[in-house]
Amino acid sequence: MEKISIITVCRNSETTIRETLESVASQSYKNIEHIVVDGGSVDGTLTVLREWKKYSVRLVSEPDEGIYDAMNKGIGMATGDIIGIINSDDIYSDAGVLEKVISVMQDNAVDACYADLIYVDKNKSDRIIRYWKSCAFEKGLFADGWMPPHPTFFTRRSVYDKYGLFDLKYSLAADFELMARLMEKYKIKSVYIPEIFIKMRYGGVSNRSMLNIVKQNIQIYQACRENNLPVSLSKFLLNKLLSRTRQYYSKPEI
């Protein structure tokens, strides 16, 4: 029975971390290791974590160099066969998400899987703002501005051991660079699961301001070039714009 390591990074997440903890604890698949990497919270986050009694959480709280450095720490601590990451203001869409991951990853030829994500109002998790519907991977998609929703991405620990962790020079796009490196450059075998795995509260770091959106897209473009993906800047930007527009107007069947 394979173990799944779930990593949550947080800082000053007092208002949302409990719901994330509950979401992981409520999963029907129980061979889970939940690692929480806190960046030195000064609100009530650590109190919530230390008082959490439903199941054991491995907790480390110390300064870090940002969200991707904290994720790298969590991956380094992980003892599970499969690793997934859920943010401190995200929740799983239902209690069967990890069962679905395991059912796909039972095939030893599969290195990773991913699914769909919905952005929800930060105060009303039943109000959908954007629907990030993914698709099966094909070579060249990353150069067109595509990527799987990172919180839905699960991969084997052996993949990280072999091909490396998040590159910290991409402060706003290390998730894109990592998945592009794994899927495009090293051609790991991935499976798309056409279901919603994650409810993400709208308003993360990368989309918090127009400046961050611009910086993130520049870093994505640079990541493509670094991984030798033939990218056309005009096509890349057009595809990103069209994809983002569709996410606001398409609605999931739930």
Domains of the chain: 4-249 (3.90.550.10)
Give the per-residue pLDDT at 230.
85
Per-residue pLDDT band at 126 (split at 50, 70, 90): confident
Nearest 10 degrees: Cα torsion 22, 94, 61, 50: 10
Tens of pLDDT, residues 162-176: 999 999 999 999 999
Taking 70 as the threshold, does the pLDDT of residue 156 lie above it?
yes
Pairing state between β 4-10 and 32-38: parallel
Give the per-residue pLDDT at 254.
57
Greatest distance between any 2 Cα atoms in the chain = 52
Report whether 89 contacts 201 (CB < 8 A): yes
Cβ atoms within 10 Å of 76's Cβ, excluding its own: 12
Give the per-residue pLDDT at 76.
97
Report the pLDDT averaged over residues 86-90.
Answer: 95
Per-residue pLDDT band at 205 (split at 50, 70, 90): low
Question: Mean pLDDT of all residues in the chain?
Answer: 91
Q: Which of 18-22, 118-122, 155-159, 189-193 has the lowest mean pLDDT?
A: 118-122
Distance CA 167, CA 163 (A): 11
Give the per-residue pLDDT at 218.
87
Taking 70 as the threshold, does the pLDDT of residue 87 lie above it?
yes
Distance CA 122, CA 128 (A): 10
Give the per-residue pLDDT at 125.
76
Give the per-residue pLDDT at 215.
87
Per-residue pLDDT band at 232 (split at 50, 70, 90): confident
Give the per-residue pLDDT at 84.
98
Which tokens belong to 113? 């899987």
Taking 80 as the threshold, does the pLDDT of residue 226 lie above it?
yes
Give the per-residue pLDDT at 204.
58
Q: Which of 27-41, 106-120, 208-222 has the lowest mean pLDDT?
A: 208-222
Among residues of the chain, what percentage have pLDDT more than 70? 96
Residue ranges of the alpha helices (H) in the chain? 17-25, 45-51, 67-77, 97-105, 157-163, 174-180, 210-226, 233-249
Q: What is the pTM (predicted TM-score) of this model? A: 0.93
CA distances from 252 to 46, 127, 158, 242, 246 (A): 35, 12, 34, 18, 12
Tens of pLDDT, residues 17-76: 999 999 999 999 999 999 999 999 999 999 999 999 888 899 999 999 999 999 999 999
